Structure 1
Amino acid sequence: MDKWTRRTVKYMAGLFAVILVYAAVYDYGMTAFDGRPRTFLEALQVVVETFTTTGFGSDAQWESWQMQALIIVMDLTGVFLIFLALPTLVFPLFEEALSTAAPTSVDRVGHVVIAGYTPRGRALIRELDARDIPYVVVEPDRDRAADIYETDTTVVHGDPESVEVYGDRVNLGDARALVADVDDATNASIALTATQVCDTPVITFVEEPSQKEYHSLAGASEAFSPRQLVGESLATKVTSGVTSDLDDAIEIGDGFDVVELPVESGSELDGVSVAESGIRERTGANIVGAWFRGEFVSPPSPDAVVDEQTILLVAGQEEQLEGLKRLTRSEQRRRRRGHVVVAGLGIVGTTVERAIEDSDLGLPQVTVDRDPAKDADVTGDVTDAHVLREAGVGAAGTVILSLPNDTVTVFATLVVRELNPEIEIVARAESQESVRKLYRAGADYVLSLGTVSGRMLASTILDEEVITFDQQVELIRTGPGDLTGRTLGEADVRRKTGCTVVAVERDGALVSDLGPDFRLQRGDELVVAGTDDDIVTFSALVGDE
């Protein structure tokens, strides 16, 4: 029973009770004070006539003051009840009639059911739309479901823990998968409910990694914990910056790796163009692409200037990449490297703290959180300059912003950059839309939780072989599809999709020296790099395998 129905039932019950009481009082008053006895039914008729303002009939002109006073009170009560009904019942009824209501059922086949509407769910919807895969969101709140519906998102209003919803309203039995993205307890309940209905795969998200086991027991096919992965990845960016090792390199095969290398202020590459850097000639590594203030370009223009806010995506043999890493590092920053400030001790922040402790590099840490219960070294608002000074941001080498609110993270980035222009800022973003904003605010490296989650889902639901989840650029393995028999020059992948074919696996061997005349054959496995959106475009270009 919805809110309006409950309100109507209560109002009508109260109205009938008031009418019956007045009818009894009127019946008694006509006998006791006016000397004109009436039956209870006649008394009830007079009360109804009074409340509805349709007249009093033959009973008008009462003789006693008591009855006259009663009629006055009845008149006022009737008017009050009418005015009470307008905002309570009538106006909401008109609003509901004029508003756009979300449907309560849909007819879909081969679709993805999404319980919960979050940034990672929206990222998945974008991927599904690009591949023309149908979906439906299940939202329990009527008003929020209507708001979602008005954004042209397929949504049904219903309880995501209801057997009826999955059995009758969203046709879960014919769906590709169910994604549960509410909270840990609700997601487990959704998995239990869904497995009652059918054997469609259920994918759940887990905030607390320790809860994964219970989601599996509830029937989840996969239980993802992206926050933990993001925390480990952010910690790796810090520890790899201290050593010359390529800890965060992605191994493609045969000693051939792909890695993201941030350019440090004061390094040999800072302030020179791509052409002037001579990276290929000096190291042998290939530049696949580069992030310039949050915008990925592949390949970068020879005239593009590399600076401290550039992140190079490069491929090559391990010794080649190690040589390039030395060019991206600043001797000045290494000499003055201080402690690490970890701001925000949620799942991501505590994972970062633990990973740095386990790295055996002896990096000192100072933790900051506004919640006294988190037992941080400094308690306070990370956007407060006094709190950041207390944490030693002015002398720190790196600050990791692992905050749950992107707006707060952007503001904190501005404050940190103002306090220490030379500090390395590594930030976690909740949604992909905030990444570029954080780079503009001064962050050196940003990883989006929504991006990581979206790749996890794509690898499971869409059978996409994602090589890595926790990099800014997505790397996948895929067959040549519709590009079979064409050369890379003829395929023109970079211009058409923005992606780069990094390497090709053929007959068990990895081919990394690819020219425009390299012809793709059936059975090849292409290693492709690009942004998430570009990978979607590339998938459409090659077609279904």
Structure 2
Amino acid sequence: MVDGPSETLSGAKRRLLLYLSAVAVLMLSYALLYQWGMATFEGRPVTFVEALHVVVETFTTTGYGEDASQWTTDAMKLITIPMMLSGVTVIFLTLPLFLVPLVEEALRTAPPTTTDRTGHVIVCTFTSRGDTLVEELESRDVPYVVVEEDRATAQRLSADGYEVVHGNPESVDTLEDANAAAAIALVADDDDETNASIILSAKQAAPDLRVISLIEDATLSDYHRYAGADEVVSPRRILGESLARKAASPIASDIDDAVEIGDDFEVAEMLVQRGSALEGDTIAESDIGRRTGVNIIGAWFRGEFVTPPDPDAVVDEHTILLVTGRERQLERLNALTRSETRRFSRGNVVIAGYGEVGATAADALVSGNVPSVVVDEREMPGVDVVGDVTDRQTLLSADIHEAQSIVLALDDDTTAIFATLVVKQVSPETEVIARANDAENIAKLYRAGAEYVLALSTVSGRILASNLTEEEVIAPQSQVEIVRTSAPQLAGQTLAEADVRARTNCTVIAVERDGDLLTEIGPEFVVRTDDTLVVAGTDDDINEFNAVCG
């Protein structure tokens, strides 16, 4: 989400009201003190209104009239001195702290309320998921417009260079101002109820407009389709299934976590377990290519993706290898990545959080015959242990010491980070497979000790981009983005001449040509105009690849 130091007008008004209330209390107190002082030290009783009049004159620096000549005693002068200083202080504080910001806010350029863009994607509204989508669209030169109801957010987006329309996305007039009739698609990305209203408004503003809706509760998908959505996407369900596969992969061979690119050719992320045959070896010492036949594309070292990995990089229990190969080759590597001490122990999987993501993960584990224990703060059907996952006793009640892994399917990233720290203290051998809601928190979860992290915003953005562009995202639920895409700028060049990896940090892992999948591609491979490249890299690197080679 976009953030910034600017304050909303309503917030500044509230603070100004509190400040003026404090000043009023101060002035009334001085009036009472002045009234008492005149009677006590000067022997000249005055009414409360007369005393208040003198205080107001003092605070506003408009003078004192004949009253100043009546202050003959030192005690009375000592009363009026702090009153004078307080008045000047109030004036100097009011101008810079409140009046100036209010004037600046009022004069600030209002965010746009219309656009003349055509052939664009309308994003309603701006979220971390939408931010990922916008980055994907920009890398493919697909125009977009963000419809944002919050004025301050719309202002910041506009100042940061986003194409934005300020207005209510549920309003037909706002969508018409966003030029819905000339758009190629609209993405409804708010809460489920608001999205249904947005869909109805979109179909009224532009009946032929393609509408894609993101939903949090997969059971509501039929309602969104009935409202008019052309496609309904449930990223939480996809994320839950992916986390379940990753958590169960060490103990269940029937839950396949590899991504099939072609006939008997797959891409897989392999977690290296503590106590495995590879732990402690460098990439060169492990000799993975010769021992298994796979090709190492890259590796995650404590949350940082490196491609290609340095031969001297040390593999540890936090390393995730990204490899390509045939099924039997991946099986040989899988055996090397598993713990020697826990290979024959099935163990179980603890699922923390029983929302949409956690429930989907639990269902996937049941389908794969993997035993699991569900933990949630709420008592409900399907929950085995009721309690706080950040509490040691709750983890012990869930038999965390017997768990091969724990899936943190929590709605709050801060809680997930703390839970990771607690799990690693209570049961260091248990692998932590975590959901991040915001991609910015992935690195924190890895530093806390998580073995595998996947962000909901990343999965959502990839799915949407794949739906809205010609590029196919093969595995939106993986840490590294894997896409099928064309690269016309590379036509006629060898891969060595194109130097794709150095220029974009991406790896071309296969090429589709004339209906065939070519996997044995070396530096001398020449790219043709009609080739479809299978490319792997981080989201930012894939965006760079599209900008350079697309």
TM-score normalised according to structure 2 size: 0.79
The one of 171, 188, 193 equivalent to 1:180 is 188
2:308 is aligned to 299
1:533 is aligned to 540
1:323 matched to 2:313? The reply is no
Instruction: Write the distance in 1 (CA, Å) between the matches of 2:305 and 2:103.
Output: 50
1:428 matched to 2:473? The reply is no
The one of 148, 157, 170 equivalent to 2:178 is 170
Name structure 2 gaps, 5 residues minimum: 1-8, 14-93
1:193 matched to 2:163? The reply is no
Instruction: Write the distance in 2 (CA, Å) between the matches of 1:165 and 1:387.
Output: 49
1:510 matched to 2:510? The reply is no
Query: Which AA in structure 2 matches 1:208?
Result: D
CA deviations on 1:285-338 (whole Å, 9 max, x unpaired) are 111111111111111111111111111111111111111111111121234553
Instruction: Write the distance in 1 (CA, Å) between the matches of 2:382 and 2:510.
Output: 48
Instruction: Write the distance in 2 (CA, Å) between the matches of 1:238 and 1:267.
Output: 17
Distance 1:521 1:131, change over 3 A: closer
* Cα contact 2:189–2:195 (8 A) shared by 1: yes
Residue 455 of structure 1 and its aligned partner are, at CA, apart by 0.9
* Cα contact 2:296–2:323 (8 A) shared by 1: yes
Residue 151 of structure 1 and its aligned partner are, at CA, apart by 4.0
2:401 is aligned to 394
1:416 is aligned to 423
* Cα contact 2:375–2:384 (8 A) shared by 1: yes
Residue 542 of structure 1 and its aligned partner are, at CA, apart by 2.0
Residue 273 of structure 1 and its aligned partner are, at CA, apart by 0.7
Query: Which AA in structure 1 matches 2:317?
Result: E
CA deviations on 1:215-241 (whole Å, 9 max, x unpaired) are 122121211000000001111112222
Query: Which AA in structure 2 matches 1:330?
Result: S
CA deviations on 1:400-426 (whole Å, 9 max, x unpaired) are 100011111111111111111111110
* Cα contact 2:252–2:368 (8 A) shared by 1: no
2:169 is aligned to 160
Query: Which AA in structure 1 matches 2:294?
Result: A
2:132 is aligned to 123
1:277 matched to 2:286? The reply is yes
Residue 143 of structure 1 and its aligned partner are, at CA, apart by 3.7
* Cα contact 1:180–1:202 (8 A) shared by 2: yes
2:357 is aligned to 348
Distance 1:493 1:206, change over 3 A: same
* Cα contact 2:251–2:345 (8 A) shared by 1: no
The one of 474, 493, 500 equivalent to 1:486 is 493
1:440 is aligned to 447
* Cα contact 2:213–2:232 (8 A) shared by 1: yes
* Cα contact 1:345–1:374 (8 A) shared by 2: no
Instruction: Write the distance in 2 (CA, Å) between the matches of 1:271 and 1:347.
Output: 38
TM-score normalised according to structure 1 size: 0.79
Identity %: 54
Secondary structure of the corresponding residue to residue 310 of structure 2: coil
CA deviations on 1:142-176 (whole Å, 9 max, x unpaired) are 34433444444333321111111111x21111223
1:112 matched to 2:83? The reply is no
Instruction: Write the distance in 2 (CA, Å) between the matches of 1:151 and 1:482.
Output: 30
Residue 192 of structure 1 and its aligned partner are, at CA, apart by 1.2
CA deviations on 1:173-198 (whole Å, 9 max, x unpaired) are 12232111111121111111111111
CA deviations on 1:335-375 (whole Å, 9 max, x unpaired) are 455332110111000111111112124x2x22211223566
1:308 matched to 2:317? The reply is yes
Instruction: Write the distance in 2 (CA, Å) between the matches of 1:246 and 1:377.
Output: 23
Distance 1:367 1:122, change over 3 A: same
CA deviations on 1:374-432 (whole Å, 9 max, x unpaired) are 66222222222232222222332211100011111111111111111111110111121
* Cα contact 1:244–1:325 (8 A) shared by 2: no
Distance 1:527 1:235, change over 3 A: same
* Cα contact 1:136–1:156 (8 A) shared by 2: yes
- 1:363-402 equivalence runs, <5 A: 363=371, 365-373=372-380, 376-402=383-409
CA deviations on 1:70-105 (whole Å, 9 max, x unpaired) are xxxxxxxxxxxxxxxx9xxx9997464244532322
Query: Which AA in structure 1 matches 2:181?
Result: G
Name structure 1 gaps, 5 residues minimum: 8-85
1:238 matched to 2:257? The reply is no
- Name the stretch that deviates more: 151-160 or 284-293: 151-160
* Cα contact 1:245–1:322 (8 A) shared by 2: no
- Runs of at least 4 residues of structure 1 off by over 6 A? 90-93
**What RMSD over aligned residues (CA atoms) do the two structures have, in Å?**
2.4
Instruction: Write the distance in 2 (CA, Å) between the matches of 1:91 and 1:212.
Output: 49
Instruction: Write the distance in 1 (CA, Å) between the matches of 2:153 and 2:397.
Output: 42
Distance 1:274 1:143, change over 3 A: same
Distance 1:282 1:246, change over 3 A: farther
The one of 456, 461, 477 equivalent to 2:484 is 477
* Cα contact 2:277–2:340 (8 A) shared by 1: no
